[in-house]
Structure 1
Amino acid sequence: MSTEATLDTQAGAAVYSPWVLKLYDWWVLSVSNRRAWQCSTKDVLLPFYRRHIGARHLDVGVGTGFYLQHAGFRPEQEVALLDLNENSLRTAAHRLGRKDVKWFVQDVMQPVTALGHRQYDSIALFYLLHCLPGEMKGKARVFANLKPHLAEGGVLYGATILGDAAGHNAFGRKLMDVYNKKGIFGNRADTLESLDQALRVHFAEVELVQHGKVACFAARKPVAAQAGMTSQH
């Protein structure tokens, strides 16, 4: 069977039932982040999310909308949501509390046709990559699919839980075992190095830092003049 055929994203998305979404913030953003992944939501992830928000923002893999609610969006900023799970989209849109928010149902591992020709100054992927199946080289398809929707000078950024090589504690190893067996995670082989390589296939300017067992990344799309100057050297 080909690698392409095995990249089924449904298991990672289907887990977000209305019941699971009610527990998500407590279990994932509080307990798991602090005790298993050793990366603070309040001190690390939320500030990182807010730091890169642009005038036109797209959130991909929206979860419960926690980051959206606490992002501090100004009224003039445009916000859009994209996810394969409609439960997550409805929950996040409601939590954001804006009547003008647009949301799209789309598998980000496929060409993102739902967005048409829309472009954004910032695209956030928080805790999305580790939920996708396959190795990081295949997951890089996400970057290829989203890059056309990133405006010049825009930034694609996010956070993802690294795999076995990160050296998880006992609690983390247990969660990794359960989540990967159920198909909720697909991150056994994910490393900081493989993420860096995958990003650099599509972006020249990449920032990457590890907090505990979580990798935070930001990749910027150059403006056309800068891209032209770079190509001349």
Structure 2
Amino acid sequence: MPPPPEEVIAGQAVYNRLMLAGYDVLVLGFHCRLVWRCAKRHMLDNYRRNIGARHVEFGTGTAYFLDRCGFPTGTPELTLVDLNPTVLRVSAARVARYHPAVVRADVLQPLPFDDGKLRTGHYDSVGANFLLHCLPGSWADKAAVFDNAAAALRPGGRVFGSTILSSGVPVNAPARRLMKAYNTRGIFHNTDDDLAGLRWQLDQRFTDIQLAVRGCVALFEATKPAPTEDQTG
């Protein structure tokens, strides 16, 4: 597997222990409610609607939502995927009661399936919350996340998450200023991220697509379709 591009490394490096210690209050509390105008309860509801007993989380953050959403079973099969080892340690510790598998990997590259930690076509759900706007490239590049999700999911499994968009949604002045600052620093890469592009990428891979806009945040959920006769034959 090739090493991650410098933009990917730089973007995830900001999430050190100090940043993660304040993430739930600063990002999920203050920024989500007052800047991005999408209260964290909407993201939590997205988890509660879609999370399955066998779940993979792409870009784990602090595992705030995994800690609170409630799984359909008391013993879920949980796998955490992130490139940042500090993020993985923090998130795995928070949901240690579920004994998660931990995979350090770049979600823009093909994932190491069937290596004992990740299995192809096995999972009930894949989450990608507040991830896409941090990844460099166009929608065509970021769509690798959806390819990896489709590879991981069983037919009928659900992919869901949220992302901050710069166009096709209402962006107020504070959000525009903070977005510009984050893009300049390489924390965000969402200058060209629009709602229509997100829908198009989901349409290419999934069915039952639902998109909800809260402020400048798009919340998405979709289903992996069953294989067609041509694919199975």
For 1:135-180, what per-residue CA distance to the aligned partner results, in whole angstroms no more than 9, with x for missing partners? 2122112111231111111011110001145342222112101100
Q: 2:215 is matched with which residue?
A: 212
Letter of the structure 2 residue corresponding to residue 174 of structure 1: R
1:64-143 to 2 correspondences below 5 Å:
64-73=62-71, 74-98=73-97, 100-113=99-112, 116=115, 118=119, 119-143=122-146
CA distance in 1, matches of 2:114, 2:57: 12
Q: Secondary structure at the match of 1:122?
A: strand
**Contact (CA 8 Å) 1:57, 1:79: kept in 2 or not?**
yes
Query: How far is the alpha carbon of 1:11 from its aligned partner?
Result: 2.1
Separation in 2, partners of 1:230, 1:99: 35
Deviation at 1:202, TM superposition (A): 1.8
Query: How far apart are the structure 1 equivalents of 2:129 and 2:53?
Result: 18
Structure 2 counterpart SS, 1:8: helix
Q: Distance in 2 between matches of 1:81 and 1:108?
A: 11
- Structure 1: 5+ residue runs without aligned partners? none
| 2:108–2:145 CA contact under 8 A, matched in 1 | yes
How many residues end up aligned between the 2 structures? 224
Partner Cα separation in structure 1 for residue 19 and residue 113 of structure 2? 26
- Structure 2 stretches lacking a partner, 5+ long: none
SS in 2 for 1:72: coil
TM-score, normalised to structure 1's length?
A: 0.89
Partner residue of 2:52?
Answer: 54
* TM-score relative to the length of structure 2: 0.89
Deviates more, 1:202-211 or 1:14-23: 202-211
Task: Please tell me the residue identity of whatever aligns with 1:94.
Answer: A
Instruction: Describe the SS at the equivalent of 1:111.
Output: coil
Assess if the C-alpha contact under 8 Å between 1:56 and 1:78 holds in 2: yes
Q: Is residue 75–residue 98 contact of structure 2 (8 Å, CA) maintained in 1?
A: no
Work out whether residues 7 and 134 of structure 1, in 8 Å CA contact, stay in contact via their aligned partners in 2. no
Cα deviation for residue 12 of structure 1 reads 2.0
Following superposition, the deviation at residue 50 of structure 1 comes to 1.5
Partner of 1:200 in structure 2? 203
Amino acid corresponding to residue 59 of structure 1 in structure 2: E
Percent identity at matched positions?
Answer: 40
Describe the SS at the equivalent of 1:26.
helix
Give the match for residue 28 of structure 2.
Answer: 29
